[in-house]
Protein backbone atom coordinates (compact mmCIF):
# COMPACT_ATOMS: atom_id res chain seq x y z
CA UNK A 1 0.00 0.00 0.00
CA UNK A 2 1.53 3.28 -1.15
CA UNK A 3 1.38 6.57 0.68
CA UNK A 4 -1.33 8.81 -0.77
CA UNK A 5 0.31 11.97 -2.11
CA UNK A 6 -2.91 13.70 -3.05
CA UNK A 7 -6.55 12.93 -2.25
CA UNK A 8 -7.41 12.76 -5.95
CA UNK A 9 -4.83 10.05 -6.69
CA UNK A 10 -6.15 6.63 -7.49
CA UNK A 11 -4.30 3.86 -5.64
CA UNK A 12 -2.41 3.21 -8.90
CA UNK A 13 -1.62 6.90 -9.38
CA UNK A 14 -0.30 7.14 -5.85
CA UNK A 15 1.78 3.98 -6.28
CA UNK A 16 3.15 5.37 -9.56
CA UNK A 17 4.07 8.64 -7.83
CA UNK A 18 6.00 6.63 -5.22
CA UNK A 19 7.74 4.73 -8.02
CA UNK A 20 8.67 7.94 -9.86
CA UNK A 21 10.14 9.46 -6.69
CA UNK A 22 12.18 6.29 -6.13
CA UNK A 23 13.37 6.39 -9.76
CA UNK A 24 14.66 9.93 -9.15
CA UNK A 25 16.56 8.73 -6.06
CA UNK A 26 17.96 5.69 -7.87
CA UNK A 27 19.00 7.86 -10.82
CA UNK A 28 20.97 10.14 -8.50
CA UNK A 29 22.60 7.16 -6.80
CA UNK A 30 23.46 5.57 -10.16
CA UNK A 31 25.04 8.77 -11.43
CA UNK A 32 27.12 9.10 -8.25
CA UNK A 33 28.17 5.44 -8.37
CA UNK A 34 28.94 5.65 -12.09
CA UNK A 35 31.12 8.69 -11.50
CA UNK A 36 33.06 6.80 -8.83
CA UNK A 37 33.28 3.65 -10.95
CA UNK A 38 34.76 5.43 -13.98
CA UNK A 39 36.74 8.23 -12.31
CA UNK A 40 40.13 6.50 -12.77
CA UNK A 41 39.35 5.98 -16.46
CA UNK A 42 38.82 9.72 -16.92
CA UNK A 43 35.08 9.46 -17.37
CA UNK A 44 31.94 10.62 -15.61
CA UNK A 45 28.55 8.94 -15.78
CA UNK A 46 27.53 11.38 -18.51
CA UNK A 47 30.65 10.68 -20.56
CA UNK A 48 30.28 6.94 -20.06
CA UNK A 49 26.65 7.12 -21.16
CA UNK A 50 27.57 8.97 -24.36
CA UNK A 51 30.47 6.63 -25.12
CA UNK A 52 28.06 3.74 -24.60
CA UNK A 53 25.51 5.20 -27.00
CA UNK A 54 28.21 5.60 -29.64
CA UNK A 55 29.69 2.14 -28.97
CA UNK A 56 26.31 0.37 -29.06
CA UNK A 57 25.03 2.10 -32.20
CA UNK A 58 24.91 -0.31 -35.14
CA UNK A 59 26.55 2.33 -37.32
CA UNK A 60 27.92 5.84 -36.75
CA UNK A 61 25.12 8.27 -35.90
CA UNK A 62 24.79 12.05 -35.48
CA UNK A 63 24.37 13.66 -32.07
CA UNK A 64 20.60 14.13 -32.48
CA UNK A 65 20.12 10.38 -33.01
CA UNK A 66 22.33 9.54 -30.03
CA UNK A 67 20.41 11.98 -27.84
CA UNK A 68 17.06 10.46 -28.85
CA UNK A 69 18.35 6.95 -28.12
CA UNK A 70 19.41 8.14 -24.66
CA UNK A 71 16.21 10.07 -23.96
CA UNK A 72 18.16 13.31 -23.56
CA UNK A 73 18.20 16.74 -25.13
CA UNK A 74 20.48 17.11 -28.15
CA UNK A 75 22.17 20.16 -26.63
CA UNK A 76 23.24 18.35 -23.47
CA UNK A 77 24.59 15.41 -25.45
CA UNK A 78 26.36 17.81 -27.84
CA UNK A 79 28.22 19.41 -24.91
CA UNK A 80 29.46 16.02 -23.70
CA UNK A 81 30.37 14.96 -27.26
CA UNK A 82 32.34 18.20 -27.70
CA UNK A 83 34.26 17.54 -24.46
CA UNK A 84 34.96 13.92 -25.45
CA UNK A 85 36.15 15.01 -28.89
CA UNK A 86 38.44 17.63 -27.37
CA UNK A 87 40.02 14.91 -25.20
CA UNK A 88 40.37 12.43 -28.05
CA UNK A 89 37.70 9.90 -27.00
CA UNK A 90 35.46 10.64 -30.00
CA UNK A 91 35.90 11.85 -33.58
CA UNK A 92 33.51 12.96 -36.27
CA UNK A 93 33.07 11.99 -39.89
CA UNK A 94 31.03 13.53 -42.70
CA UNK A 95 27.42 12.40 -42.91
CA UNK A 96 26.42 11.56 -46.48
CA UNK A 97 22.77 12.25 -45.59
CA UNK A 98 23.20 15.64 -43.93
CA UNK A 99 25.95 18.20 -44.42
CA UNK A 100 25.84 19.70 -40.92
CA UNK A 101 24.97 16.64 -38.78
CA UNK A 102 28.35 14.95 -38.50
CA UNK A 103 28.58 11.27 -37.61
CA UNK A 104 30.15 10.52 -34.22
CA UNK A 105 32.77 7.76 -33.93
CA UNK A 106 34.76 6.18 -31.12
CA UNK A 107 38.50 6.68 -31.38
CA UNK A 108 40.89 3.98 -30.18
CA UNK A 109 41.20 5.93 -26.93
CA UNK A 110 37.40 6.06 -26.65
CA UNK A 111 37.08 2.31 -27.27
CA UNK A 112 39.69 1.56 -24.61
CA UNK A 113 37.93 3.82 -22.10
CA UNK A 114 34.52 2.32 -22.86
CA UNK A 115 35.89 -1.24 -22.58
CA UNK A 116 37.59 -0.37 -19.28
CA UNK A 117 34.30 1.06 -17.96
CA UNK A 118 32.48 -2.15 -18.93
CA UNK A 119 35.19 -4.18 -17.20
CA UNK A 120 34.35 -2.23 -14.02
CA UNK A 121 30.58 -2.38 -14.60
CA UNK A 122 30.23 -6.16 -14.93
CA UNK A 123 31.29 -7.15 -11.40
CA UNK A 124 29.55 -4.07 -9.96
CA UNK A 125 26.25 -4.97 -11.67
CA UNK A 126 26.62 -8.59 -10.56
CA UNK A 127 27.06 -7.44 -6.94
CA UNK A 128 24.07 -5.08 -7.17
CA UNK A 129 21.91 -7.88 -8.56
CA UNK A 130 22.61 -10.18 -5.61
CA UNK A 131 19.43 -10.79 -3.66
CA UNK A 132 17.21 -10.07 -6.67
CA UNK A 133 15.85 -12.64 -9.07
CA UNK A 134 16.10 -12.32 -12.81
CA UNK A 135 12.28 -12.29 -12.89
CA UNK A 136 12.12 -9.35 -10.47
CA UNK A 137 14.58 -7.38 -12.57
CA UNK A 138 12.78 -8.22 -15.82
CA UNK A 139 9.45 -7.17 -14.27
CA UNK A 140 10.92 -3.82 -13.19
CA UNK A 141 12.37 -3.37 -16.68
CA UNK A 142 9.01 -4.12 -18.30
CA UNK A 143 7.26 -1.56 -16.05
CA UNK A 144 9.82 1.13 -16.89
CA UNK A 145 9.59 0.41 -20.62
CA UNK A 146 5.80 0.63 -20.46
CA UNK A 147 6.00 3.97 -18.63
CA UNK A 148 8.42 5.30 -21.25
CA UNK A 149 6.07 4.12 -24.00
CA UNK A 150 3.08 5.80 -22.31
CA UNK A 151 5.00 9.04 -21.94
CA UNK A 152 5.98 8.94 -25.61
CA UNK A 153 2.38 8.33 -26.68
CA UNK A 154 1.23 11.31 -24.62
CA UNK A 155 3.76 13.51 -26.39
CA UNK A 156 5.86 13.88 -23.26
CA UNK A 157 9.63 14.11 -23.59
CA UNK A 158 11.24 10.68 -23.24
**Residue 22 is assigned to a structural domain of this protein:** no
pTM of the model: 0.85
Give the list of residues 6+ apart from residue 104 with CB closer than 8 angstroms, or none: 54, 60, 61, 62, 63, 66, 81, 90, 91, 92
Any idea what the CATH number is for the domain that residue 60 is in? 1.10.10.10
What is the distance between the alpha carbons of residues 44 and 104, in angstroms, rounded to a whole number? Answer: 19
Q: What is the pLDDT of residue 139?
A: 97
**Residue 71 is assigned to a structural domain of this protein:** yes
Domain count, the chain: 1
* Three-state DSSP state, 7: coil
List Cβ<8 Å contacts ≥24 apart for 62-67: 62/95, 62/98, 62/101, 62/102, 62/103, 62/104, 63/101, 63/102, 63/104, 64/101, 66/104
What is the distance between the alpha carbons of residues 84 and 152, in angstroms, rounded to a whole number? Answer: 29
pLDDT along the chain (158 residues), means of 10: 75 91 96 96 95 95 94 94 97 89 96 97 97 97 93 73
**Residue 14 is assigned to a structural domain of this protein:** no
What is the distance between the alpha carbons of residues 56 and 62, in angstroms, rounded to a whole number? Answer: 13
Q: Which domain holds residue 69?
A: 43-153
Amino acid sequence: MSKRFHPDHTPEGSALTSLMLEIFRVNGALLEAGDALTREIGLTSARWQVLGAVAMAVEPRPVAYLARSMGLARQSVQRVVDDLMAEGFLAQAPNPHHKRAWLILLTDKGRRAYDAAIDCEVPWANRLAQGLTETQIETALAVLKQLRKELAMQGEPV
